[in-house]
A and B are shown apart, each in its own frame.
Chain A
Amino acid sequence: MSDDDGKLAVLIARYAAAQTLQQLVACVRDYEAAGAPHLPSWPNIRLALTGNYSTQFLARGFPLALAARHLAAEIYESPYNQWRAELLEPGSALHAFAPTHVCLTLTSIELAYGSLRTPEAVVASVTAAVQTALKAGDAHFLITLPEPLADELNDNGGAYAWRRAVGDGLHAALARPRVTLIDTAPLIRQAGAAAWYDDRFYDTAKLPFHPDRTPAMLGLLADALTGIVAPRCKLVVVDLDDTLWGGRVGDDGYDGIDLDPAGKGRHFLRMQAFLQGLHDKGILLAIASKNDPGAVQEVFAKRPEMILRADDFAATEIHWEPKSSSLARILDRLKLSTTGVIFLDDNPVERAEVRRRFPDIAVPELPDDPAQRVAILLGTGLFDHRVATGESLKRHRMYAENEARDAAQRDAGDYQEFLRGLKMTMHGAPLEAARERVSELIQKTNQFNLTTRRYNWSELAAAARGGFGRCYRLTDRFGDNGIISVVAVAREADGDARIDLWLMSCRVFGREVEAAILADIVARAGALGARRLIGDYIPTAKNALVRELYPRLGFREIGRDGTSVRYALPLDDARAAAGADFIAFSDLAEPVGAATS
């Protein structure tokens, strides 16, 4: 990155952080002083801004607001409240500017109390002006629907009826190509009426909102323009467990996941409805999930509450490999570049892993609380896509094919680097240290569970008699994963140590955590004087994930019957004890109860 690019990046960051008019104007000034730089690869637009209130701040902010969205814009601003003349007269300065885009922004205050007043007059006047201007050139029109008047808060419904009549009329009259209507009401709701409306500034400066709301209004318009010029979102790749439904289907079963419309499941259904809406607009959906494909299939087949159907997804990656590999394959299969790709996952570690390999892919922070997620996603502006899509998708495909997908070819050594960067620490503790969580894991864990023995507490104590029982908590730079694994090792009469129970939360699978736990087991078994470590695998419908675990960790098969396979690991084998060097180990004697989650 050159120095100039660096300066531009700083200006864009300052713009993105601007909350007040003063902050906005300050970075706009610096942007202007730097010569309003943009990159040659950005699309150029010629934007004419016209309306019936003071648009100077918006006009001045647009070049930087659009630069922040990777568009290069030249701006023309009509004189105050000249929108009708500017649009209707073929020789107007607006038409002479030859805009590619026209932003027509009208405040209800002037419409409702000025010369037009009635909804019929407003609709007729706006429609006539826009229709005439559409014929005069080939610009695309972005029109803000008249905003709710502050009177809507306290009158008897008249102001609301007025706005509905205007909005419905404009929608009906202007549903045509090259016209995009946007509603400012959601933005005002978000800001709050008290922060939005301020008559003093309308009376003295013809600003229909508080000056400090300028950055928000500018953002709304710039997002919408970006959606028209270069739709941002073409593919959304989603996780499944705790993203599309509550719980983990591998452990809870297809009938155990939460999709209850009367409870917390509603928020997962909202997420599905949101994605369905994107799908309906032509945005591609894909799945990247660390999961058991059979269990996922069952959800789609047997849970009628599911809003999304299996065939809504253009690509599906369900296995235990890193999510970045899944994304690389999805992009390859769909012949897409990373532009306009969004990845949704509730797990911060997965998000970080994807960001690291694909810095261009948008990875919004999903809050832990599913209730907040859709609102947060809408607030990111990533999903603005207000254009009919058949054509835009085709265009995306075409340029995507011309772009190199070197990311897909990056070597796998990267993943090790990523794991190293996680700064994982394993905290071993006696089972009693987290009794409740240990019991819960024993009852619930299905996938990473070698023997699936649903012990109660005394059975567990019996299983570890003469040997040891341990639970393991994992922390990483993203925080505390809580107790993620439980082990019970018995001392056999012949001197062997036998892993009677070993289970692990699949949330941390794929991070070489299992090798670190084995290293601890080996050390403890060795301390007991055992010469061999025995491990049994008892297959169930849900634990195919660990079928190859023992061989992968260096065990050798020593026997099998109809219900289980037995493996052994000689304890003098140095390889056995080698856990991953990037997972630190700390033994806790004291309780870790607070860390259970």
Chain B
Amino acid sequence: MSSREAVLRKLEPIFRGVIDPDLVLSEDLDASQVPLWDSLNHIILVVEIEMKLGVALTTDELAGLRNVSELVTLLQEKGVQA
């Protein structure tokens, strides 16, 4: 399992809890493809990611993260590992 894959597996339960219990998270997914990934659920996602993965996001990061691939890259930069 690549380290990107490992971060993805950590994100998946968070997305499932907030958006859809059956969601399969993949790197090519972005908010426009997931109807329930709206601005309100996005706030919940951000809060849950910060809490469960122990990272702090800046204002710009918090607003900008609308696709999974960027999110994985950012979390890797912030030291989230397997």
Q: Does A56 contact B62, Cβ atoms closer than 8 Å? A: no
8 A Cβ contacts from A302-337 to B:
none
Q: What DSSP secondary structure best describes chain B's contact surface?
A: helix
Known: A211-B44, A211-B47. Contact between A204 and B62, CB under 8 A? yes
For B, the interface residue count at a CB cutoff of 8 angstroms equals 14
A-B contacts counted at CB < 8 A amount to 37
Asked whether A20 lies within 8 Å of B63 as measured between CB atoms, the reply is no
Is B1 part of the binding interface, using a Cβ–Cβ cutoff of 8 Å?
A: no
Judged by a CB distance under 8 angstroms, whether A380 is at the interface is no
Total residues of chain A contacting the partner, CB 8 A: 17
Could you tell me which residues of chain A, from 160 to 213, have a CB within 8 Å of some CB in chain B? 199-201, 203-205, 207, 210-212
| Contact present for A212 and B39 (CB under 8 Å) | no
B31 CB–A CB distance under 8 Å = no
Q: Mark B1-17, 1 if CB is under 8 A from A, else 0.
A: 00000000000000001
Pair A56/B59 contact, Cβ less than 8 Å: no
Q: Are A205 and B39 interface neighbours, CB within 8 A? A: yes
Central interface residue in A56, A200, A212, by most chain B CB within 10 Å:
A200
**In the complex, what residues of A have CB within 8 A of residue B59's CB?**
199-200, 203-204
Is B17 a contact of A26 with CB atoms below 8 Å? Answer: yes
> Is A21 a contact of B62 with CB atoms below 8 Å?
no
Partner of B44, one of A21, A203, A204: A21
Interface assignment of B68: CB less than 8 Å from any CB of chain A: no
Chain A residues contacting B51 (CB-CB under 8 Å) are 20, 212
A194 to chain B, nearest CB (A): 13
A352 within 8 A of B: no
Residues of B within 8 A of A25 (CB): 18, 44
Can you name the residue of chain B whose Cβ is closest to the Cβ of A210? B47
CB distance from B18 to the nearest CB of A (A): 6
**Contact call A204/B17, Cβ cutoff below 8 A:** no
Let me know if A22 is at the binding interface, CB within 8 A: yes
How far, in whole Å, are A21 and B63 apart by their CA atoms in the complex? 18
Please provide the chain B residues from 52 to 77 with a CB less than 8 Å away from any CB of chain A in the complex.
Answer: 57-59, 62-63
Residue of A nearest to B14 (CB): A22
Tell me which residues across on chain A come within 8 A of B63, comparing CB atoms: 203-204
| Given A57-B40, A205-B39, A22-B58 contact (CB < 8 Å) | no
Q: Which residue of chain A is the closest to B48 with respect to CB atoms?
A: A22
Q: How far apart are the CA atoms of A301 and B18 in the complex, in Å?
A: 62
**Residues of B in contact with A (beta carbons under 8 Å apart):** 17-18, 39-40, 43-44, 47-48, 51, 57-59, 62-63
17 additional A-B residue pairs with CB within 8 Å, beyond A22-B44, A204-B62 = A20-B47, A20-B48, A20-B51, A21-B44, A21-B47, A22-B47, A22-B48, A25-B18, A25-B44, A200-B57, A200-B59, A201-B62, A203-B59, A204-B63, A205-B39, A207-B43, A210-B47
29 A-B residue pairs with CB within 8 Å: A20-B47, A20-B48, A20-B51, A21-B43, A21-B44, A21-B47, A22-B17, A22-B18, A22-B44, A22-B47, A22-B48, A25-B44, A26-B17, A56-B40, A57-B40, A200-B62, A201-B62, A203-B59, A203-B63, A204-B59, A204-B62, A205-B39, A207-B43, A210-B47, A211-B43, A211-B44, A211-B47, A212-B47, A212-B51
